[in-house]
Amino acid sequence: MAQKTIEEIMNSEVVLSIKDLVIKFNLRGQELTAIRGASLDLHKGESLAIVGESGSGKSVLNKSFMGLLDSNGRIESGSIMYNGQDLAKFKTEEDWIKIRGKEIAMVFQDPMTSLNPLKAIGKQVQESIELHQNLKGEEAKKLAVEILNDVGISEPERRYKQYPHEFSGGMRQRVVIATAVACNPNILICDEPTTALDVTIQAQILQLLKNLQDKYNLTIIYITHDLGVVANVADRIAVMYAGDIIEIGSSEEVFFDPKHPYTWALLSSLPQLGVKGEALYSIKGTPPNLFKEIKGDAFAPRNPHALKIDFVERPPYFEVTPTHKARTWLLDPRAPKVEPPPLVKKMQELYIEAGDKVE
Amino acid sequence: MKYISTRLFRSLLTLIIVVTVVFLLMRMMPIEGYFGANFDKLDEAQKTVKLQNLGLLDPWYTQLKNFYTDLLKGNLGESITYRPKVAITKILGDKLITSLKLGMSSLVVSLVLGLGLGILMARFKGKFMDKLGTVYVVGANAVPAVIYYLLIQVFFTDIFNLPLLYDKSNPKSWILPILCLSLVNIAYYAMWIRRYMVDELNKDYVRLARAKGLTNKEIMSKHVMRNAFVPMAQYLPASILYTVSGSIYVESLFSIPGTGGLLVTAIQRQDNTLVQALVLLYSSIGIIGLMLGDILMAAFDPRIKLANEGGSR
The reply to whether residue A132 touches residue B213, judged by beta carbons under 8 angstroms, is yes
Given this model, what pLDDT does residue B310 score? 47
Given CB atoms, is A133 within the 8 Å cutoff of chain B?
Answer: no
Size of interface A-B (CB pairs under 8 A): 72
DSSP, res A340: P
The reply to whether residue B227 touches residue A118, judged by beta carbons under 8 angstroms, is yes
Answer yes or no: is pLDDT of B308 > 90: no
Above pLDDT 90, what percent of chain B?
18
Q: Are A35 and A21 in contact (CB under 8 A)?
A: yes
In what helix (H) or strand (E) does residue B260 lie, and over which residues does it extend?
A: none
pLDDT bucket at B90, cuts 50 / 70 / 90: confident
Answer yes or no: is pLDDT of B259 > 90: no
Q: Which among B211, B223, B303 has CB closest to A165?
A: B303
A172–chain B nearest CA distance, Å: 12
Answer yes or no: is pLDDT of A345 > 90: no
CB contacts, 8 Å: B226 with chain A: 118
The residues in B 99-158 lying below 8 A from A, measured between CB atoms, are none
Q: Are B133 and B121 in contact (CB under 8 A)?
A: yes
Given CB atoms, is B213 within the 8 Å cutoff of chain A?
Answer: yes
Given this model, what pLDDT does residue A358 score? 52
Enumerate helices (H) and strands (E) in chain B, giving the number of each: 15, 0
Question: pTM of the predicted model, to two decimals?
Answer: 0.81
User: Helix B225-233 to helix B272-300 angle, to the nearest 10 degrees?
Assistant: 150
pLDDT tens digits along A259-290 = 999 999 888 888 777 777 888 888 888 888 88
pLDDT bucket at B300, cuts 50 / 70 / 90: confident
- DSSP states along A206-245: HHHHHHHHHHHT-EEEEEES-HHHHHHH-SEEEEEETTEE
Given this model, what pLDDT does residue A355 score? 63
The answer for residues whose C-beta is within 8 angstroms of residue B309's C-beta and 6 or more apart is B3
Q: What average pLDDT does range A40-54 have in this prediction?
A: 92
Residue closest to A39 by CA, chosen among A188, A238, A219: A238
Answer yes or no: is pLDDT of B269 > 60: yes
Answer yes or no: is pLDDT of B131 > 90: yes
For residue A240, the one-letter residue type is M
The reply to whether residue B223 touches residue A119, judged by beta carbons under 8 angstroms, is yes
Answer yes or no: is pLDDT of B312 > 70: no
CB contacts, 8 Å: A119 with chain B: 223
**How far is residue B91's CA from residue B135's CA, in Å, rounded to a whole number?**
42
pLDDT bucket at B307, cuts 50 / 70 / 90: low
Given CB atoms, is B208 within the 8 Å cutoff of chain A?
Answer: yes
- When the pLDDT of each residue in chain A is averaged and rounded to a whole number, the result is 88
All structural domains of chain B, each given as residue ranges with its CATH number in brackets, are 98-270 (1.10.3720.10)
**How far is residue B95's CA from residue B256's CA, in Å, rounded to a whole number?**
9
SS3 A30: strand
B35–chain A nearest CA distance, Å: 60
pLDDT tens digits along A136-145 = 888 999 999 9
**How far is residue A33's CA from residue A75's CA, in Å, rounded to a whole number?**
10
CA B15 to chain CA centroid, nearest Å: 17
Given this model, what pLDDT does residue B311 score? 44
Report the 10 Å Cβ neighbour count for B70. Answer: 13
Residue A296: phi, psi to the nearest 5?
Answer: 70, -145
Among A98, A103, A116, which would you mutate to test the B interface (most chain B Cβ atoms within 10 Å of its Cβ)? A116
pLDDT tens digits along A165-190 = 999 989 999 999 999 999 999 999 99
Given this model, what pLDDT does residue A41 score? 92
Chain B residue whose CA is closest to A110: B204
A104–chain B nearest CA distance, Å: 8
SS3 A36: strand
For chain B, what is the radius of gyration of the CA atoms? 24
Answer yes or no: is pLDDT of B32 > 80: no
Given CB atoms, is A132 within the 8 Å cutoff of chain B?
Answer: yes
pLDDT tens digits along B168-210 = 788 888 888 888 888 888 999 999 999 999 999 989 999 999 9
For residue B244, the one-letter residue type is V
Answer yes or no: is pLDDT of A32 > 80: yes
Higher pLDDT, B137 or A305: B137
The reply to whether residue A183 touches residue B203, judged by beta carbons under 8 angstroms, is no
CA A106 to chain CA centroid, nearest Å: 11
Residue B189: phi, psi to the nearest 5?
Answer: -65, -40
Report the 10 Å Cβ neighbour count for B32. Answer: 11
CA A225 to chain CA centroid, nearest Å: 9
In what helix (H) or strand (E) does residue A333 lie, and over which residues does it extend?
A: none
**How far is residue B108's CA from residue B130's CA, in Å, rounded to a whole number?**
22
The reply to whether residue B203 touches residue A113, judged by beta carbons under 8 angstroms, is yes
Report the 10 Å Cβ neighbour count for B29. Answer: 12
CA A34 to chain CA centroid, nearest Å: 16
pLDDT bucket at A356, cuts 50 / 70 / 90: low
Residue B85 to residues B81, B91, B278: CA-CA distances in angstroms? Answer: 8, 11, 17
Q: Which among A105, A132, A165 has CB closest to B211?
A: A105
Helix extents (H) in B28-87: 44-54, 60-72
Q: Which among A115, A119, A131 has CB closest to B214?
A: A131
The reply to whether residue A114 touches residue B207, judged by beta carbons under 8 angstroms, is yes
A270–chain B nearest CA distance, Å: 31
Specify which residues A187 forms β-bridges with. A104, A219
CB contacts, 8 Å: A191 with chain B: none
The reply to whether residue A180 touches residue B222, judged by beta carbons under 8 angstroms, is no
Q: What is the ipTM of this complex?
A: 0.83
Given CB atoms, is A68 within the 8 Å cutoff of chain B?
Answer: yes
CB contacts, 8 Å: A102 with chain B: 213
Q: Are B96 and B259 in contact (CB under 8 A)?
A: yes
Q: Are A309 and A229 in contact (CB under 8 A)?
A: no
Given this model, what pLDDT does residue A7 score? 79
Given CB atoms, is B42 within the 8 Å cutoff of chain A?
Answer: no
Q: What average pLDDT does range A289-316 have in this prediction?
A: 87
Given this model, what pLDDT does residue B242 score? 80
- When the pLDDT of each residue in chain B is averaged and rounded to a whole number, the result is 85
B116–chain A nearest CA distance, Å: 22
The reply to whether residue B212 touches residue A105, judged by beta carbons under 8 angstroms, is yes
Q: Which among B210, B227, B303 has CB closest to A100?
A: B210
Higher pLDDT, A218 or B258: A218
Given CB atoms, is B304 within the 8 Å cutoff of chain A?
Answer: no
In what helix (H) or strand (E) does residue B168 lie, and over which residues does it extend?
A: none
